Amino acid sequence: MDTTPLDPTAFRAPAVLLSGQVDYDMYRDFRRQLDAAADREIVVIELTTLGGDPEVARMMGADIRFNSAMDPNRRFVFLGKAAIYSAGTTFMSFFATPNRYLACGTRLMIHERKMDKQLHVQGPLTTCIASVKATLNEILCSIEIQNEGFANLVQGSDVSLDEVLEKAPANWYLEAEEAKRRGLIAGVI
């Protein structure tokens, strides 16, 4: 994998431009643009987002991993602009650290996944136990997925998983230069 630092000219005409809510519409737009960039050696994906669906971010990230594995001679590079919050940070975590860049002044926001669910327990007692266990299993699995993403994000940086787990519940904001100093990204453009 090429880890040569990129200069600003590499970001002049990104192959993929995304902004807004991370959702299925963004995913379709991402796939269309990614497929259209099949002939590029350096594929810059530029993103600005206040967040969205973490599973869609994971799907987009899986596409980056798959394409990187299928064609190791191509370089997939993330460029975050203005705001990379929540699901945007999840997506960024799928890029190798040498391929993560932020525009000057950009903020990352890292937080725990959120759930908004009411559990209504009614019926035979064994059925009640099953529905409570199902909700607990959903929470535990979501925490496991969340922590896998946190581990990917901090790999190779001086940010520990414990630090993320401590700060994420209160929404942890990092400015681009701090993210670079901490080793979460390769550079600030």
CA 91 to chain centre: 2
User: Amino acid identity, residue 145?
Assistant: I
Q: With beta carbons less than 8 A apart as the criterion, state whether 69 and 139 touch.
A: no
Q: What is the pLDDT of residues 21-68, one digit of tens each?
A: 999 999 999 999 999 999 999 999 999 999 999 999 999 999 999 999
Q: With beta carbons less than 8 A apart as the criterion, state whether 31 and 66 touch.
A: no
Question: pLDDT band for position 106 (50/70/90)?
Answer: very high
Q: Round to whole Å and give the CA distance between 59 and 138.
A: 19
Residue 1 pLDDT more than 80? no
Query: Looking at the chain, how many residues does it have?
Result: 189
Helix extents (H) in 37-124: 54-70, 87-92
Cβ-proximal residues to 189 (8 Å cutoff; 6+ apart), any chain? 8, 11, 79, 101, 102, 103, 104
Phi, psi (deg, nearest 5) at residue 133: -65, -40
Q: With beta carbons less than 8 A apart as the criterion, state whether 84 and 175 touch.
A: no
pLDDT for position 126: 87
